[in-house]
Amino acid sequence: MNFSGKPFNFLKVTTLSVDFFLESVKNGDKKALEHLVSRGAVNASLDDCGRTALIFASLNGDTAAIKYLLNNGANKKIKDASDRNAVNYALEYAVREGDEDSKIPQMIDSFDKKD
């Protein structure tokens, strides 16, 4: 039910709401990432280029999102349409930010989930 008391039609999702959700994931919004993980879509492509939430987190240098995604099953080896993965984007972030000593690429590359 929605606030009007009428049943909500989940099949009628607006492009605006989908775009907002994808932008939230791309920007590392914790609730959006949790929703993505809870739906088993942690490795889903979020755009036409095949970039995943982990790739976007790497591109933004968001270490908290990167750790969360890796610990929840994100595949660091997935490549996008330009044949780049999360490590490649983390390196790009480091260069763009002038942080050649960034630990993010190594953190992603060396990650090995321990169950």
User: Rounded to whole angstroms, how far apart are CA atoms 82 and 72?
Assistant: 25
pLDDT over 50 (residue 19)? yes
Tell me if 2 is assigned to some domain.
Answer: no
Q: Looking at per-residue confidence, does 66 or 12 come out higher?
A: 66
pLDDT over 50 (residue 7)? no
Cβ count within 10 A of residue 38: 10
Output the pLDDT for position 107.
94
User: What tens digit of pLDDT does each residue of 36-53 get?
Assistant: 888 888 898 888 899 999
Tell me if 8 is assigned to some domain.
Answer: no
* CATH code assigned at 82: 1.25.40.20
Tell me if 71 is assigned to some domain.
Answer: yes
Per mean pLDDT, which range of 9-23, 39-53, 77-91, 95-109 is the poorest? Answer: 9-23
Tell me if 6 is assigned to some domain.
Answer: no
Cβ count within 10 A of residue 47: 13
Domain range for 30 is 15-110
